Amino acid sequence: MNSPLPDPDSHEIRIRVRYSESDPMGLLHHSRYLSYFEMGRMELFRAQGGDYREMESRGLFVVVLKLQCEFKRPAKFDDLLTLTTRIANVTPAKLEHDYELRRGDELLARARVVLACVDRTGAVQQLTRDVLFGAPGS
């Protein structure tokens, strides 16, 4: 695959479930998983040499087009979790990641999120190295 994204193509982070993210059941609220996935792909991008804050300062933004998530077992307040983020597909227009959230060996959730890159006007940008990492010497 002639991907604009250099290796690695997967990355792991550790996340402690915060009290403020936990709901009246004592469980990580399902909406919070999406913020975890976002952290996962940003850290993968950092591991590839990218800098998402810098990318936004160049007027380029990543937006979510589509997502699906399966919740298999609940994550609880204070759990220490491992999130694996893996590039599933890259086309000139879209970037897809797969996510697996685990507590030890137990798989808690699995998701796919489809992203696109847009400029300030919302116009879709091709996913090239220059768009993602900045033009060399710029």
What does the per-residue mask of binding to its own copies show for 8-27, with x meaning CB under 8 A?
----------xxx-xxxxxx
- Residues in Cβ contact with 130 at an 8 Å cutoff, skipping those fewer than 6 apart: none
59 binds its own copies (CB under 8 A): no
29 binds its own copies (CB under 8 A): yes
- Which among 34, 35, 102, 36 is positioned nearest to 69, based on CA atoms? 34
How many CA within 13 A on the CB side of residue 63? Answer: 13
Q: Between 71 and 96, whose beta carbon lies closer to its own copies?
A: 71
Which single residue is written with the structure tokens 């469980």? Answer: 27
Nearest approach in angstroms of CB 37 to its own copies is: 9
Q: How far apart are the first and last CA of the chain?
A: 27
69 binds its own copies (CB under 8 A): yes
CA 55 – CA 60 distance, rounded (Å): 6
Near its own copies by CB under 8 A: residue from 4, 9, 12, 34: 34
Q: Which residues bind to its own copies, rule: CB under 8 A?
A: 18-20, 22-27, 29-32, 34-35, 38-39, 42, 52-53, 56, 61, 63-71, 74, 76-78, 122
